Amino acid sequence: MVGFLKTVIFFTFVKLTLCDTCDPNHGTEGVYDCVRIPKYNGYQWAVCLSSQSLRKYTGRHMGCRGSAYCWLPCTQSVYPEIRKGHIAKECVCDPTENERRKRSLALEGREARVKVPPDCYIPAMDNNCQWYSKCLEAHSSCEGSDSNYAISYGKAICSIFLEEYNSFSEDGKSWIRSSQKCIEDRLRSVLMPNNTEDCRNIRDRAYRVHSDCYFQNRNAKFCNLLGTDQQKIYWSIKQVYEHAFREKFDEGMAKFRSCLRNDVYGHQRKFMFYVEKDSEEIIDENEFATSLVAQFDFSSHGIDWDVDKMTNSRKKREVNKLKGYQIVGIFVSRKQVNLVERSRRSANEPHLRKSLDTEYDADFLESLNISITNELKNNALTVLNIDKSLRAKRAIGWVAVTAGNVFSRCFNLSPVILCFPLWIGCIRSLLLIHSYRQGVLPDTPDDIDPRFYFYSVNKNDIQLRFSDVSSFSHFDPSKKTYIIVHGFLNNKEKSWISDMRRNILSEVDANVIVVDWEKGADHLGHYEQAAVNTEVVGTILALLVRSLEDHQGAKKSHIHIIGHSLGAHVAGFAGSAHKETRYQRITGIDPAGPFFNTKGSDARLDETDAHFVDVIHTDGGGLGYLNALGHLDFYPNGGQSQPGCLLTCSHSRAYELFTESILSNQTFKAWECDTLDQCKTGKGIDTDTSEDNRMGFYVDDTKKYKMYYLRTNKASPYDIAAHAVKAT
């Protein structure tokens, strides 16, 4: 193995016969020249080094073969793995131009010598942070300029990793060694005589080199490291990057963030803010974040933070649609590992210091969450002076994604909180973040603009307004209340809603409320956006019921919510907001399936959302939800496709069946199924016997059976018996 390593690493250097400035016995070490080397195609710069120096700085793996001095070609110095072939472009030299330079130096009595110690050109075999000051800065003299890099940042970031080296895993240590060697190798060409880069160009090159070596180094890649290693690297690099590569900071940190493992997110929190702005105004995320962390005194707790500016690019559609708001993402470090951070005393006088070894416990993190939540809930989080007009800006919405337990992480679920000011408050759910398009957030209440319209036997189309409680005056708390909620791409003007409302009032002297959330449901081509909006609508519906309780004496025991498709889940979220004193009944009319069929019961309609939940399935496995959701689930014609239907007809058939059921308590006889498969086929069910229940408005909620099968006609009247009577 040792022999193989020596064979691979050993450099064959070119002897003095090619040039008269590097005598194989006498040198001189440190002179350089434009040399033609046979195994490379052309001329390149080379530095004369002693075999003793090569052996010393490479652990005796390298040396001049058969001589005391030899040439180290630029290509092998910068890319030691390139042993023959084409010359690296940064190493090419012009022999004619070089002869003129040599004559000019000779006339001045000077020798062509390198500016830095010769060993600076020897490919590094270990992590030597002194290389940045001893070699790179000694050559470039950039320290003190606006584009300083070598000592303030190159050496600083190298020192951070060396200081924390023993706390990394073996893979982490390998990443440190490989990436630092890669950086020095790639920057070594700056030391070559032909290099004329100024300080800014050197810093720009350094950014590209760091990025390549951290992410594309074949020996070790950041994306493959353990979460604990990633966290230490991420927050340590951030401290240096924010000063070293200011104009590339967002891009650079986004690359790191894209690789963070799930267990890293368990050690930090992400805050998402909707920030109020003028239509053409752009909020500076860093200024907003700086004001925010100052308000909550992050620094006194040693909390570090990073702004996720890439949020806007990932959410262009959401941001463009939210014309009055800009989304700002802020990451906050939960210090469960030992980190080294940079003091922010002065960007021009960077100073490294070691952080405390303390950890933040769950109580502290929860208190931080509560403090921010309360500020937003009370509409008090106002950040000043973040635009030219010096107007106050208000963060009106917030999502904090926190670490879940093992079960949550395994199933890609994280507790989520979304807060809105004053009358709406906060939502806690498992639904909001994980959709088809990663990171889809709900629209704000102002954008959804849900509206509520009241109807009774004597009153029509009266809009109920939170801001005007006198609009509640026609609500009669002694009567039953039916609330109708539409789904995707619908509104209150749809004929089925009018038909259902009229049928209810023709049979019952009741309060009827229609929920119109058209602006939140009208996302053609972006169904998942409407899906995540259901929780906001459900929460606001629950607030309406609470307002009717407070101002008109409404009783939850008198409330029956009827929701179609996404509206069924709106009903579920409204019900889950009142689980201690639940609504009397929720009817899910073919609840939406896509997106919700992978969610837990907290993120969709389920039987705990009301005292009694009944569900009608007509397009299960298509646009609808197939599995049982309620106390009683009905599967007309098997629950997957309806007779006479094409395309979306099966999904809409559900509300037609329910609307028809209102007019007679003798319609839609149904029979018990033992299993879902039996409900889907109807096999083994004797429909000639007395029915076990009736589907729809007059369902018997005292029945103990879970699932029912029935058949319907392909046209109205849909009830089999009613159709037979009509035919007779």
Strand pairing of 352-354 and 382-383? unpaired
Q: How far is CA 575 from CA 14, 286, 504, 568, 571, in A?
A: 82, 40, 21, 11, 6
Catalytic residue among 308, 590, 633, 719: 590
Asked whether 69 and 32 are in contact (CB, 8 A), the reply is: no
DSSP state of 378: T
Give me the DSSP letters along 75-123.
HHHH-TT--SBSPPGGGB--HHHHHHHHHHHHHTT---B-SS-GGGGSP
- Amino acid letter for position 716: S
DSSP state of 690: P
412: phi > 0 → left, psi -120 to 50 → alpha, else beta; which? left
pLDDT at 551: 94
Is there a catalytic annotation at residue 651?
yes
- Amino acid letter for position 424: I
Strand pairing of 451-455 and 462-464? antiparallel
Catalytic residue among 651, 661, 692, 719: 651
Catalytic residue among 179, 565, 650, 652: 565
So where are the chain's domains? 2-121, 131-259, 266-427, 447-727
pLDDT at 378: 56
Is there a catalytic annotation at residue 86?
no
Looking at domain 447-727, its CATH architecture is: 3-Layer(aba) Sandwich (3.40)
Cα end-to-end distance, the chain, whole Å? 96
Q: How far is CA 172 from CA 124, 129, 639, in A?
A: 19, 18, 54
pLDDT at 227: 81
Q: Give the 3-state secondary structure percentages of the chain, helix then strand then coil, rounded to 5.
A: 40, 20, 40
Q: What is the pTM (predicted TM-score) of this model?
A: 0.59
* Three-class DSSP category at 661: helix
pLDDT tens-digit series, residues 554-608: 999 999 999 999 999 999 999 988 877 899 999 999 999 998 988 888 889 999 9
Ranges in the chain, pLDDT < 70: 1-20, 125-127, 262-280, 299-302, 310-327, 334-366, 368-370, 372-441, 722-728
